[in-house]
Amino acid sequence: MTSGPGVGKSGWKTRLYEAYVSSEQASFRPADSVWSLSHYPQVEALIRRHVPPERNSRILDLGCGHGNVLQCLATLGYSRAEGVDASREQVELAHRLGRMNVQQGDIVEFASRFSAELDVVLLIDVLEHVDKQATVDLLDTVRRALRPGGKLVIHVPNAEGIFGMRVRYGDFTHETSYTTQSIAQVLRVCGFEHIETFEERPIVHGLKSLVRHWLWRLLTLRERLLLLAETGSSSAILSQNMIVVALSQSK
């Protein structure tokens, strides 16, 4: 999952976004050319678990990269999804792959075209790219674009994750990472409610992934016990990324 958000970009950031594919930062791989859900189990799982099942839901993917999530949505039968990305290279790649519902542009400007009419907004690997003021501005714009009770789905680096700093510093354009508390704080202030956070564990889709799944559950037990000893709670998200789901306030 990649993005080129286009929020408050400075000169150096524009330069990096313009070279997002040629600098090999975009996670393009040959499987993108011959699409199969089996190539992207994490994306499929995110959609099945957190996107409403109604296939006519109006969905906007902000910072959509070259459109892998949009392709997965289309494969699963969602017919009213579109995306925008700031990176010209990413958008050109999306079009070469036949994903014509990807446009180039600033994501705040694009989202501001909608007023209480979207069912779902996706911010997949986007918020880590923008500074704090731009984050608040973006979330305010998203809330206005969503219908009351509409869903926001976020994927961000987890500052509490065991290997969270690999993602936080894995892209020169990253500005920050989040904890469950900090993401909930800013979402509440920006008009979202019913906020839930989820650990991104290995998805079982074969023998190797089954082994990875159980290794994760077993080997993270030590950290959960240490947290229990210090705080009295073993509730923690330890994956390097986390998924956050919130609803636009209905009032």
CATH number assigned to the domain comprising residue 103: 3.40.50.150
Residue 99 domain-assigned (yes or no): yes
Residue linked to tokens 């909930």: 184
Residue 57 domain-assigned (yes or no): yes
Of all helices (H) and strands (E), which one includes residue 103?
Answer: strand 102-104
Residue 2 domain-assigned (yes or no): no
Residue 1 domain-assigned (yes or no): no
* Total domains present in the chain: 1
Residue 154's alpha-carbon distances to 1, 19, 38, 146, 226, in angstroms, are 11, 24, 22, 14, 28
* Residuewise pLDDT in 10s, the chain (251 residues): 444 455 555 688 888 888 888 887 776 666 566 667 767 899 999 999 999 999 999 999 999 999 999 999 999 999 999 999 999 999 999 999 999 999 999 999 999 999 999 999 999 999 999 999 999 999 999 999 999 999 999 999 999 999 999 999 998 999 999 999 999 999 999 999 999 999 999 999 999 999 999 999 999 999 999 999 998 887 889 999 999 999 999 86
pTM here is 0.90
The residue segments making up the domain with residue 53 are: 11-204+240-248
Residue 223 domain-assigned (yes or no): no
Residue 101 domain-assigned (yes or no): yes
Residue 4 domain-assigned (yes or no): no
Residue 87 domain-assigned (yes or no): yes
Residue 54's φ and ψ, nearest 5 degrees, are -65, 115
Strand order across the beta sheet in which 192-199 lies = 102-104, 81-85, 59-62, 118-124, 146-157, 241-248, 192-199
Residue 104's φ and ψ, nearest 5 degrees, are -95, 135
